[in-house]
Amino acid sequence: GGRKARSRKENMETPGLTSTRWFDAVTLPADQIDQRSIIKAMMVFGHGGNTVTRLPEAVKGMSALDLLVVADPHPTTFAAMDARRDNTYLLPICTSLEMDGSRTASNRSLQWGEEIVKPAFESKTDYEVIYRLAAKLGFADRMFKNTKLKDGVPEAEDILREINRGGWSTGYCGQSPERLKAHMRNQHKFDLV
């Protein structure tokens, strides 16, 4: 059924959709979604899109978006599925070799990675792109209030600590930057078998 107008707090606490159903919030009528309005624009960071089982609906959703931004080191299926030409942007994002931070595999195992090479060309880290966007929109001071900046880029350690504070329901807690870094320093002591 239809949803009444919500306060900002209520809207922020509304459960979202799974990543495999994002297009429903683009194509369904507004009275059939929990958000206050349909999705008009989407930024996709490091997600190929080929995990969606309802690809025809996903393509329709992509066609209905006013704006699509794909932030990835290379074009993914999100950048190519719909053959979009207008209001579609590919932001060059650093690879994991070009930035510090935690890495999570699909089996939810974690490790810490260090920057091995400087970012190629004009690519930026996910952290920097999100920070710059939040600054442009006027809420970086609130979004990154628990995060130190180094040369205008949020520190990876503080980003992980923030994820830990909000990731209890997904089991993304208990690790720390210090613990992950110690694991990497001592990996020669672990039996891989």
**Residue 114, pLDDT score:** 93
Residue 14's pLDDT band, with cuts at 50, 70 and 90, is low
Answer yes or no: do 29 and 82 share one domain.
yes
Answer yes or no: do 119 and 189 share one domain.
yes
Tokens of 44: 């996709």
> 92, 119, 146: which is the final residue of a domain?
92
Task: State the average pLDDT for the chain.
Answer: 85
Is the distance from CB of 187 to CB of 110 less than 8 angstroms? no
Is the distance from CB of 113 to CB of 101 less than 8 angstroms? yes
Range with the lowest mean pLDDT among 13-17, 62-66, 93-97, 163-167?
Answer: 13-17
Above 60 in pLDDT, residue 2?
no
Provide the domain limits for residue 57.
1-92
**Residue 104, pLDDT score:** 82
> 92, 116, 142: which is the final residue of a domain?
92
Domain count, the chain: 2
